[in-house]
Structure 1
Amino acid sequence: MASPKTTHWELDPHTKAKHEILRSYLGGWFPVLSTYNGRVVFLDGFAGPGRYENGEPGSPIIALTTLLDHSFFPKMKSEFLFVFCEPKPDRFESLQSEVKALMNERAPWPRHVKVILLDKPFQEAASNIVEDLKRHRKALAPTFAFVDPFGISGLPIELLRDLLASPRCELFVNYMVDSVNRFAGAGNVDHHLTELFGTDRYKEAANPANGQSRQQFLHDLYENQLKSVCGFSFVQSFGMINKTGHIGYYLFYGTRDVKGLELMKDAMWKLDPGGDYRFSDRLAGQTVLFIEDMLDVRPLRDAILTTFSGRTVAIEELERFTIIQTPYKKSHLRKPVLSPLEKEGTIQVRRPGKHGFPAGTTVYFPNA
């Protein structure tokens, strides 16, 4: 991670992982949103200098090239607006230079792709956008806000609520739970923590209920606030596990659209963690690792058998449950879980054809 006096810094494995997730997600998000909307916005709240120490692209360049290099880009007629916030003068100058270089490299630059560079902190830039929208009585266009701060300050949840209030706005935020855990109850940064959560309930982390760990309590509190304060119908978190096996921070994704949640899960599971970093989530008290070649579907199997015990359920409902209620993605349902259950005789399947689980299939789950 960069020091306050550093213009460029080394790209660490976890940041590389975030960028790969971002690239993969935007690859699905851009064509979906541009099909139905006249304008699509990508907002990078902590943009950085545009490049890392060894020349790797930063999130602004990744977002732009993901769009420009997309196979569907020639057919996308929406206006794409990219807003990059970077308050530090040296990093802002570097970002300007990198964006200009990309525009020159891709000349003639597409007229429907606009870039706005703001030499302001995210909090100030977002507040200005909110005030401008209120003044003109307008709603924000469909927006993906990538908010990747260096700490816990400058990220008021009520500002996120006001900025991303429109139904098609989404949030991908780095929640520094380690820092929150360290400072919760210390008393010296309470104003930042109260802004972050929109409540002072983080103080309860000192004595969490129900046997929770401090970190799990602080995770659940932020998730609940993203739902209740920001109004995101679906919130997915991914724990970023370091080499010592501990979660350093969570990536939280908030959306009001099931399709967006499906795209984000596909992006997460597509990433090959290698040996430098891992991702996790929890289901039924078990840690689920986002590693395809070590796929363990037992938590999904157990959750489905428990939830739908004694019921006959359409395949579409099982898919929706998998996407919304579990860390797994839709493709983990049929072959890894339902097919073995059918072979064992645990479930009874009625399908319109002879094979698989096509639309119109129903599944009966006997009482557990």
Structure 2
Amino acid sequence: MVSLFKKVIPIQGKYLKPFSAKVASITSNREIFCIDCFAGAARYEDEKEGSPLMLATLSDACSQWQVPVTFKIINVEPNLENFLSLESETQSWIQKGIVTNINKKFNEAVPEILSKIGNAPALFFIDPFGPTSVYFSHLLPILRRSQSATELIVNFDTDGLQRIADATQSKSDNPKTVKAISTNIQNVTEIIGRSDWLTKYQSANFSTQDKQKFLLSLYIENLMKFGYAVATYAIREALGKATKYHLIYCTRHNDGIFLMNDFIFEEENSMLSDHFENRMTLFPTSFDDENENRRKELSLLVQSFLKENTKTTRKQIKHNLIFEHFAQFHSKDYRTVVQELIASEKLHASHGKKRINDDESLTYSG
């Protein structure tokens, strides 16, 4: 089965280019690492390139930039057949010292990974096969890195975690069931990295969606304790489909949040465009109408923020709204809405001009 994270590969590719260029500038040797922690085979069953080959190809492009970047890749894969596929398909990059393949489980490979990357900037892709493949303790050595340019993109199996948590609710006193309940409680605790979830989970009258939101929020809170800004995006196969996974993006730099927001929005917008194109003859609402409605919604959110923060900047507006509304609005939407508020004289730039940058001081008059 192909992971839903395959949908995120285009986002990886778009984000990695500015990430590579920016963080390489803070190093003396312009060397950065990308670690594919659950790499899988080099190709999918349909023979299309998987993330290991996509990353290797990107490395070639980085080496040809006007100011070259040495983009190194570490693939972690415990399955021997998949590992041999990686070794074969990435042999030319291995010989150049660009690719390293590790035939271990992720948690067993972490010490070797950290030894290889030293203090270099690094981006970790963590796409496990099921929620129990990554305990929070496995991430701790990564989260505790002193290198500020350490980022993580995690495919979090929200649906799978909720099912394990639900399995702790049985009232049976059958010895096998009691043992299974104990194991499930321990698994959830290990995955989210805290034990205080159980009492509220058992006592609250949660809907399925509320259960998933609750467990996800505890996980995010734990990640944030290590100085990361964390944003989440619900991964869907198509519009109207239920969310089973969340992309969790962790960075110590707000610019990264803004970039990732826009790249994910563009993928979502592409899916929305296809949706309307396929159903145009049946429904009168157009893609343009949807864009207009989205900006009206953002305008209301911005004005609500401005009523409480009359002195601000466009960057502060984005920063305060982007986490709760991650990937719902593009940077272009923020610029358009702010520009419209200036044009309507509800918002005033300090220099009195109509055109502004992100850091221009703004005053709201309502």
**TM-score, reference length from structure 1:** 0.78
Count the aligned residue pairs: 328
Aligned to 1:177: 158
Aligned to 1:255: 251
Aligned to 2:217: 220
User: What does 1:16-55 correspond to in 2, within 5 Å?
Assistant: 16-37=6-27, 38=29, 39-55=31-47
Letter in 2 for 1:341: L
Corresponding position of 1:198 = 193
Give, as a single letter, the amino acid of the residue that structure 1 aligns with 2:106.
F
Whole-Å Cα distance in 2 between the matches of residues 214 and 52 of structure 1? Answer: 33
CA deviation vs aligned residue, 1:21-66 (integer Å, no higher than 9, x gap) = 1111112111111122233111111000110122211111111212
5+ long unaligned stretches in structure 1: 2-10, 279-290
Distance 2:305 2:206 in 1: 22
User: How far 1:246 moved relative to its partner?
Assistant: 1.3
Counterpart CA distance in 1 for 2:306 and 2:244 is: 35
| 1:267 lines up with 2:263 in the alignment | yes
- Equivalent of residue 56 in structure 1, options 48, 63, 66: 48
**Richer in strand (by share):** 1
User: C-alpha displacement at 1:158, in angstroms?
Assistant: 2.6
Q: Does the 8 Å CA contact 2:350/2:363 hold for their aligned counterparts? A: no
Q: Cα distance 1:360–1:172, how it changes in 2: closer, same or farther (>3 A)? A: closer
Q: Is the 8 A contact 2:63 2:71 kept in 1?
A: no
Q: Which amino acid aligns with 2:75?
A: F
Q: Which of 76, 88, 92 is equivalent to 1:97?
A: 88
- Residue 69, structure 1, aligned to residue 61, structure 2: yes
1:23 and 1:116 mapped to 2: Cα distance? 19
CA contact (8 A) 2:42 2:51 kept: yes
Judged with a 3 Å threshold, the aligned counterparts in structure 2 of structure 1 residues 258 and 47 are, in CA distance, closer, same or farther, namely: same
Q: What are the superposed Cα offsets for residues 121-143 of structure 1, whole Å, 9 maximum, x if unpaired?
A: 1110014445x59xxxx954211
What amino acid is aligned across from residue 61 of structure 2 in structure 1? D
* Residue 318 in structure 1 maps to residue 310 in structure 2: no
- Greater percentage in helix: 2
1:51–1:191: structure 2 CA closer, same or farther, 3 Å change rule? same
User: Structure 1 residues 207 and 24, CA, compared in 2 at 3 Å: closer, same or farther?
Assistant: farther
* CA distance, structure 1, for counterparts of residue 165 and residue 288 of structure 2: 35
Q: Is the 8 A contact 1:300 1:326 kept in 2?
A: no
% same residue: 23
* 2:279 paired residue number: none
Structure 1 Cα separation of the partners of residues 157 and 237 of structure 2: 13
Query: What CA RMSD, in Å, does the superposition of the two structures yield over aligned residues?
Result: 3.1
In 1, Cα distance between the equivalents of 2:290 and 2:57?
32
* Aligned partners of 2:347 and 2:362 also within 8 Å: yes
Q: TM-score, normalised by structure 2?
A: 0.79
Kindly provide the amino acid, as one letter, of the partner of residue 21 in structure 2: P
**Alignment partner for residue 301 of structure 1, among 299, 302, 307?**
299
User: Contact 2:262–2:330 at 8 Å: present in 1 too?
Assistant: yes
